[in-house]
Amino acid sequence: MENLLEKDNLIRPPRVGEIMAGKIIGRGRSSIFVDLGIFGTGIIYGKEFYDSKDALKNLKIGDQIVAKIIDLENEDGYIELSLSGASKELSWEILKQKKENGEIITVKILAANKGGLLTEVSGIQAFLPVSQLSPEHYPRIEGADATKILKELQKFINKEMEVKIFDLDPKENKLILSENAK
């Protein structure tokens, strides 16, 4: 039956893990109700509400949102949704497209360790290994003293750099950047 529905391009039922768009139709003290059209009403509540509280506080009834389905029917008959799950998944998709297009991204360096620089891209932590730094930024330290290398790398904190995505793996939560690949 499911193949028949998909083959004839008919509407198929939603699945856990899918991302859906809907319109906010109500607010509770710690919940948001979302109209999912023919699929019914979704709800963001509990841990999902608190995890996304900052993003939800400015939304009004009638606003469109995109959320990930985490349960098809809870005890009250609502489809349980996650705003944070959807945004993270969408971020990975955007990053994947940027990698495929060879797009240059400007990032702000947030921290450094002996192995490289740490930053964030679209809300996802990223790593720029020393080996992927451009020749002008590569720390040339006599004797490869790790403490001195770290001190050199710390000079980049709060600075912006242009990079490309070198490698990504959403399942491993791994995002590796390269300044060399530009």
Residue 8 confidence (pLDDT): 52
Q: Structure tokens of 81?
A: 């949704």
Return the DSSP state at 179.
S
Q: For 126, what's the count of Cα atoms within 13 Å in the CB-facing half-sphere?
A: 28
Q: What is the helix (H) or strand (E) element at residue 167, kind and residue range?
A: strand 160-169
Residue segments in the chain with a per-residue pLDDT below the cut of 70: 1-10, 182
* 35 and 9 inside one domain: yes
Residue range of the domain that includes 10: 2-84
Pair 99, 92: CB distance under 8 Å: no
Question: Is 30 within a domain?
Answer: yes
pLDDT given at position 182: 62
Q: Which of 32, 58, 84 is the last residue of a domain?
A: 84
β 31-35/41-45 pair status:
antiparallel
CATH of residue 140: 2.40.50.140
Q: What is the pLDDT of residue 2?
A: 46
Number of structural domains in the chain: 2
Let me know if residue 114 belongs to a domain: yes
For residue 93, is it within any domain? no
CA gap 152, 149 in Å, rounded: 5
Residue appearing with tokens 């008919």: 10
Same domain for 76 and 119: no
Q: How far is CA 26 from CA 29, 30, 99, in A?
A: 10, 11, 39
Q: In whole angstroms, what is the distance from residue 62 CA to residue 154 CA?
A: 46
Which alpha helices (H) appear in the chain, and where do they start and end? 2-7, 47-51, 53-56, 83-101, 146-153
pLDDT value, residue 122? 83
Say whether both 67 and 134 belong to one domain.
Answer: no
pLDDT > 90: percent of the chain: 57
